Amino acid sequence: MTKRVLMFHYDLTDSQGRPIDSSRGGEPFPVMEGGRQILAALETELFAMKPGEKKRVPLEASRAYGPRNEQLKVKVSRSKLPQGDIRVGSQFRGGNEKAELVFTVMKIEGDEIHLDGNHALAGHDLVFDVEVMEVREATQEELSHGHAHGGDGHHH
């Protein structure tokens, strides 16, 4: 099956229009069809577009990073975490082979560390303003790596 690579610019805001992220001022973001590099709902919208086309794509939380899951908020003993400087905002990978999550330190109370495994944007409705810059067939290298490379070559 032939897969396509799409290069796009985006401006991401919350539902009140507050800026969250943008690709403007840099290279367009490359994504390979079916590569699970971006939100599935956004990928579906993008690959229905043509180069030069612009579109606003509002995504409810359920179609973006999902609702916040209170079960992903846990307290652990400092001894269960890697040694070193642990601060509010520090991040650690955890989970299992099927579902590895990134946990963020939210609070430190003595030896007790409060972690949150929710994505920072979980529970938020999002709005993507996108512009498709290019659509092309994926290269053999991209297909073998399972993801798109940028305009200047290999990106991981």
pLDDT at residue 31 tops 60:
yes
Pairing mode, strands 29-32 and 91-95: unpaired
Pick the CATH number of 70-116 from 3.40.50.720, 1.10.260.40, 3.20.20.70, 2.40.10.330: 2.40.10.330
pLDDT recorded at residue 151: 60
Residues paired with residue 93 on neighbouring β-strands, in sequence order: 102
pLDDT recorded at residue 54: 98
The CA-based angle 154-155-156, given to 5 degrees, is: 125
Name the amino acid, one letter, at 138: A
- Name residue, tokens 């299992």: 96
Q: pLDDT tens digits for 34-78?
A: 888 899 999 999 999 999 999 999 999 999 999 999 999 999 999
Please tell me the pTM assigned to this model.
0.81
pLDDT at residue 155 tops 60:
no
How far, in Å, are 24, 71, 82, 125, 131 from residue 78 at the CA level? 40, 19, 8, 34, 45
What CATH number labels 4-65+124-145?
3.10.50.40
